[in-house]
Every structure is written in structure tokens, then in C-alpha cells.
Amino acid sequence: MATLAANGGGGGARPGVAPGRQKQSEWTGVRPRQGGRWAAEIRVPNTREKLWIGTFESPRLAALAYDAAVFCFYGERLPKTRRLNFPVAPTPELPGIVRARLTVGNVKAIAEQHARTVDALLPPPGFAAAAPLVVAAAAPVEAAPATYHGVPTAMADNNLVAGAADDSQFSFDADVIA
């Protein structure tokens, strides 16, 4: 037991980090590579095999790819041993039946593509607003003419918000319906 405590194991050790080693990244499933790039990898469920998702320019991009791979493998219901780096970020739009049939190669491709798509939507790393965003009251805008390339549209006189349609616009023949 004394060797376990001396190596940094036991209750004070960080999960997922071998005793005596420092965690290299703040993100789960991400580690630095030589040359300033970052790698993302994940263990394939029910196997001892690791899936190399890829190398990325930033640790955030690698973390997003890891999250997409976790979603592809587990869906919305993560096991207790897994966690997402960005729990509120959008996930790939994959129905459960499609997720169940994905190959490891499909998961890798989806994770890489999804990470790049979501990263483009997020604010730059380190971005912090100097002041809270305030939305100014908008000036009233006049309705645009109801035309499409100069041709009047049929919807010009419809006002679905203000009131119901006038029934005199509609007529039916009871003999045709019966």
C-alpha cells in the first residue's frame, strides 16, 4: 500500500491518468502530438481496441471530434465512465437505427467532419465579452411589397396573425362533396 501512495495512486489520483503521470490536456480523449497538433482517440465499446479519430490543429477541435465519436457509440445515454467535453454543443444528427449500424470507419469520418462544422459555429477560444450583450429596441419596419421579382404574390392580402380568414372567400358545392 505504501508504494501505491508514493506513486500518486489511491484516492487523490486523477481518473484516467496513470500513477506518477500528469494529465496532458484539459479535454477528455485528447493528447498533444509533436509539432503542435492534437490527437483525439477513444476506446471502442466492448473491445480493447482504440479508435484513432485523427490529429487536429487545436485541442478544442480534437475534443469536439471525441464528443462526436462518443455520441456515435453511445447516443444520448452515456455510461458513467464517459463524459462529454462540450455537453451543450450540438451532436451529429443520427437516428438510433443509423448509429447502431455505423462502422468504426464511419464513426471516425463523422467525428472529424462534425468537429470542424461545430468549431466554426463556436466563438474563438479565449473569447470573452467585455460587457454583456444588450439588444437595442428595433425601429418599426414597414412591410415590404408583396412581390417576387416584380410580380405580385397571391399571399399579399393574407394576414394570418391579425384575424381569421373571411368565409365569403370560400364556396363549396354540397353535391360535389357528397
- Report the CATH number that the domain containing residue 42 is assigned in CATH: 3.30.730.10
| Tens digits of residue pLDDT in 22-37 | 567 789 999 999 899 9
Least confident piece of the model among 19-28, 70-79, 113-122, 123-132: 123-132
Let me know if residue 73 belongs to a domain.
Answer: yes
Of 66-70, 97-101, 115-119, the poorest mean pLDDT is in 97-101
More confident call, 178 vs 104: 104
CA nearest 69: which of 43, 87, 47?
43
pLDDT grade for 125, boundaries at 50, 70 and 90: confident
Alpha-carbon dihedral sign for residues 46, 48, 54, 55: positive
Domain tally for the chain?
A: 1
The reported pLDDT for the residue numbered 96 is 85
Contact between 55 and 46 under an 8 Å Cβ cutoff? The reply is no
Q: How far apart are the first and last CA of the chain?
A: 89
Q: What is the mean pLDDT of the chain?
A: 74
In a domain, 44, yes or no: yes
Query: Using one digit for the tens of pLDDT, what is the confidence trace for 24-74?
Result: 778 999 999 989 999 999 999 999 999 999 999 999 999 999 999 999 999
Answer whether residue 170 is part of any domain: no
Asked if residue 72 is part of any domain, the answer here is yes
Range of 87's domain? 23-121
CB burial of 80-119 (b: ≥16 within 10 Å; e: otherwise) equals eeeebbbeebebbebeeeebeeeeeeebbebbbebbeebb
The rounded percent of the chain whose pLDDT value lies above 70 is: 58
153: which DSSP letter?
Answer: P
* pTM exceeds 0.85, yes or no: no
